[in-house]
Amino acid sequence: MELSINQKVLVFLLLSIGLITLPHINHIPLAVFVAFNSLLVWRFICIWKVNLLPNKWLLFILMIGAISLLYQQHHTFLGRDAGTSLFVIALGLKLLEINQTRDIYLVNYLAFIVATSQFLYQQSILMAAYILFVTCVLLATLVLINSQKPATLAALKTAVIIVFQALPLSIVLFVLFPRVEAPRWMLFNQQNSARTGLSDSLEPGAISQLGLSDELVFRAKFNAELPSQNKLYWRGPVYSYTDGKRWTEGKVSKKNAVVSKVDYKGYKYQYTLMMEPQDKEWVFALDMPSSFPKALKQNSQYQIITTEKNNQRAEYKFTSYTQYNTGELSDKAYKENVQLPVEPSAKLKKLVTTLNGFDQSAEGFIQNVLMHFKTENFHYTLRPPLMGDKPIETFLLESRYGFCSHYATAFVYLMRIAGIPARVIGGYQGGEINQVGGFLEIRQANAHAWAEVWLKNKGWTRFDPTAAIAPERIEQDVNIDLQIATGIINFSPMFSNSGKALSWMKQARQMWSNIDYSWQRWVINYSTENQTKFLSSLGIHNIKSIVYWLMGSIGGISLVLAWIILKNKTTKLAEEVRLYQMFCKKMAKVGLDKEVAETAQNYCHRIQLQRPDLSEQVAKITMIYTRLHYEKEPLDKDIKLLKTELAGFKVNINPE
């Protein structure tokens, strides 16, 4: 049976399967990936060494070994990761069973499943293009199997045509067919490309590690005017409790879910936020959010939390104000935000006294501290020295080199020594404007820490000590490319002229980022809710309308495709068919026309009955034509032989 399968088809199939499984190297255990590739190489060798194919008993042993390997790696056969490994290893074992054409069909269909499983891990436009490519390759394998004369390029061309003919129908089904989302209990438990970023605890210097990362955190597209750079504070976790070195969320704020009423003022900013997958439930809204989707909630620290799966991309619509008043402070919140782990050292108390922290208004003391940072030889750096067991004291009185978290924690600590409620806010500041798409890109390098101080009649008020020592960090955006390359703080104007200031590489990156943003927004995030909104904009409000649109669209596209395919269709006849038609024309001249549904053999038999004198020649011509037209591997000399027979074929109208 093996000899009946064309070697070219097998080689093409195995190469296709190698391409299909290659991206899974990042998703399945290395041992499983190595096992699969060992089976693939084994099958490659068996194309030419058929006797090396395993028998049934060896295949059974291999199957038991594969099952043991899967269980050892995953401890289960259920779920995304275990299921993917199962399909991959099953595909490898099935390759060793190929001994007839039917097995190639089964392997091909299994390969389609393995190919689509890539989308369980990555849904980027690049992966979609790659899967589209391997789909064409798999279809080309099916075309090769059914070709009389297998030709790789011709098969690929046919497969590409088939795929692109199917794309319009696929798009219509994607847009119109009702989307059914799986219930929560059916969702996979594994994290899906979750990103790491800000932590739920903060130590001076921690954010500097994120300062050298260009990993995307979220994008923001404003409906109208963008806020100025110094207003782009994206609120994240609030650190109220400290042990002197580390800052964490306060115990009271975790228990208290009541949000104090906020008095919003000034300009109203409306925008759409697209969060990348992450390992926290935080959503970074522009400070201060006033309205947001029902899937989100706001804790007592005014931080936005998602109640949905945070390990997937998600899009939210927000309204925020950059001017606001949070009102009065409760007794519990007051105690939490003046908390200190131990009695402050005499040196720190002396500094507070020098800055009039004990005998001046809160606003006056704040200005004195900010001026102290500005005039006392403090420095802003991504690579500060180690601070030891007393980081606040060491930073303020000795090193004076630090990043935003050093300044924010030191500032808040001084406020608390003076009895002023204050806390540290973590999040992101700024963002790079994508000139192509008109949206902001906020990356890990934009991670930032600032302070909030509670002031009477003003509520919680933002103060950013970093602005005192490095105002360009707030007024301009981080130049991520230079910062990563040099490790040195670099800034660039936020709204620069893209034609002059941006290099061609940066323009290309922004263009690609815009394409990816559109892909994520309109394809990956095309959920039931988004579909309902989109269809409603087209006047489609119920299932009946959807059915009509589906039937009309599919019918219309089918008619167009049929018209394109059949319009002026000129089929290039095979050489043997053209020669056989010449034979039929000669017989028609003597009144023996070939009927439409008549086979070549039946036609030959009828001619032999009516013209016995032509019996031998007609039988020979029919035999050569049948061999040329229907056998997979006809003889090369048959065409020449058929031409010779037809050249010598003479038909007399009145046989003797």
Q: Please report which confidence band the pLDDT of residue 495 belongs to, taking 50, 70 and 90 as the band edges.
A: very low
**Whole-number pLDDT of residue 454:** 95
| 69/90 Cα distance (integer angstroms) | 12
Range scoring the smallest mean pLDDT among 158-162, 209-213, 344-348 = 209-213
> Which stretch, 43-52, 59-68, 185-194, has highest mean pLDDT?
59-68
Query: Is pLDDT above 50 for 185?
Result: no
Query: Is pLDDT above 70 for 517?
Result: yes
* Other C-beta atoms lying within 10 Å of the C-beta of residue 126: 11
Q: Please report which confidence band the pLDDT of residue 304 belongs to, taking 50, 70 and 90 as the band edges.
A: very high
Q: Please report which confidence band the pLDDT of residue 502 belongs to, taking 50, 70 and 90 as the band edges.
A: very low
Query: Is pLDDT above 50 for 309?
Result: yes
Query: Is pLDDT above 80 for 655?
Result: no
Whether the model pTM is above 0.85? no
Kindly report, residue by residue over 378-412, the tens digit of the pLDDT: 988 877 887 778 889 999 999 898 888 899 999 99
Q: Please report which confidence band the pLDDT of residue 271 belongs to, taking 50, 70 and 90 as the band edges.
A: very high
**Whole-number pLDDT of residue 500:** 47
CB 124 within 8 A of CB 161: no
Range scoring the smallest mean pLDDT among 28-42, 474-488, 513-527 = 474-488
Higher pLDDT, 490 or 639: 639
Query: Is pLDDT above 60 for 482?
Result: no
**Whole-number pLDDT of residue 268:** 94
CB 406 within 8 A of CB 393: no
**Whole-number pLDDT of residue 187:** 46
- In this prediction, residues 295-313 reach a mean pLDDT of 84
Range scoring the smallest mean pLDDT among 162-171, 428-437, 487-496, 587-596 = 487-496
Greatest extent of the chain over all pairs of C-alpha atoms, in Å: 137
| 527/549 Cα distance (integer angstroms) | 19
As a whole number, the mean pLDDT across the chain is: 82
For residue 147, which phi and psi values (nearest 5 degrees)? -95, 140
**Whole-number pLDDT of residue 257:** 55
Give the SS3 label for residue 501.
helix
Query: Is pLDDT above 80 for 138?
Result: yes
Six-digit token pair at 594? 């070939």
Query: Is pLDDT above 50 for 189?
Result: no
Domain spans in the chain, listed from the N-terminal domain onward: 2-173, 201-259+266-495, 528-566, 575-647
Query: Is pLDDT above 50 for 269?
Result: yes
| 340/243 Cα distance (integer angstroms) | 7
List CB contacts of 643: < 8 A, sequence separation 6 or more. Answer: 579
Query: Is pLDDT above 90 for 536?
Result: no
